[in-house]
């Protein structure tokens, strides 16, 4: 498995763009431009791995650690599986999972909740047609399932990132919108940014 930010990092020295000995013909070695780009990505990743967000002058937290803990609690994973005093195996009480389920139920986003209103009185008659077209599009791109998934992840991690792309449908040859949820632990960005649009982003994309 490899990723854009770690592609054959042995082929260059961090902090430089000078290639080292390229002796293995079976490996891919980045050129000077690619080495420079990889070096930048690695530096940003290293900087944001331990980036703290200050909520007061003295209090801060690591967003990545918060997400890791949230998932560990939800999955029932203890840092230490056995009690230090009795030696007995700890029993997990799924309080976090119950809270997540309650949040998901309270939000309950659905495609039927999408409202379409006319911009002017003369457009009232075409609203049902537009709504039918929109709902049909939602069905094609499986938007309802996306809403369910992002609601649950947001309730667990505290945040969610959706990436939308225009791709070509291999069956119809037509271009269409495809959206997917990006794993928060596969993202590196400035955790203090108010919006993902306000910071550069490094995404790890596992490939085989």
Q: Specify the pLDDT at position 18.
A: 47
pLDDT digits (tens, 9 = 90+) for 150-192: 999 999 988 889 998 888 888 888 888 888 999 988 888 887 7
Q: Is the pLDDT of residue 148 over 50?
A: yes
Residues 104 and 155 sit within 8 Å (Cβ to Cβ): yes
Mean pLDDT across the stretch 110-124? Answer: 86
Reported confidence tier of residue 208, pLDDT bands at 50, 70, 90: low
Q: Is the pLDDT of residue 12 over 80?
A: no
Mean pLDDT across the stretch 120-143? Answer: 88
Q: Specify the pLDDT at position 25.
A: 65
Reported confidence tier of residue 45, pLDDT bands at 50, 70, 90: confident
pLDDT digits (tens, 9 = 90+) for 79-104: 888 888 888 888 877 778 888 989 89
101-108, long-range: CB < 8 A, 24+ apart: 103/151, 103/155, 104/151, 104/152, 104/155, 107/151, 107/155, 108/151
Q: Specify the pLDDT at position 11.
A: 42
Q: Is the pLDDT of residue 9 over 50?
A: no
H helix and E strand count, the chain: 5, 6
Q: Is the pLDDT of residue 4 over 50?
A: no
Q: Is the pLDDT of residue 117 over 80?
A: yes
């Amino acid at each position: 498995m490899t990723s854009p930010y770690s592609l054959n990092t042995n082929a260059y020295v961090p902090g430089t763009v000078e290639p080292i000995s390229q002796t293995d013909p079976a490996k891919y070695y980045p050129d000077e431009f690619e080495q420079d780009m990889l070096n930048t990505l690695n530096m940003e990743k290293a900087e944001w791995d331990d980036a703290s967000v200050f909520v007061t002058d003295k209090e801060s937290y690591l967003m990545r650690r918060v997400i890791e803990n949230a998932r560990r609690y939800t999955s029932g994973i203890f840092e230490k599986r056995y009690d230090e005093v009795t030696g007995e195996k700890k029993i997990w009480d799924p309080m976090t999972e119950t809270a997540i389920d309650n949040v998901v139920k309270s939000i309950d986003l659905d495609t039927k909740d999408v409202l379409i209103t006319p911009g002017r009185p003369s457009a009232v008659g075409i609203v049902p047609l537009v709504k039918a077209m929109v709902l049909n599009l939602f069905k094609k791109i499986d938007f309802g399932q996306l809403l369910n998934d992002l609601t649950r992840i947001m309730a667990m991690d505290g945040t969610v990132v959706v990436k939308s792309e225009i791709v070509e449908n291999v069956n119809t040859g037509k271009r269409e919108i495809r959206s997917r949820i990006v794993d928060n632990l596969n993202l590196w960005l400035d955790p203090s940014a108010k919006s993902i649009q306000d910071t550069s982003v490094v995404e790890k994309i596992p490939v085989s």
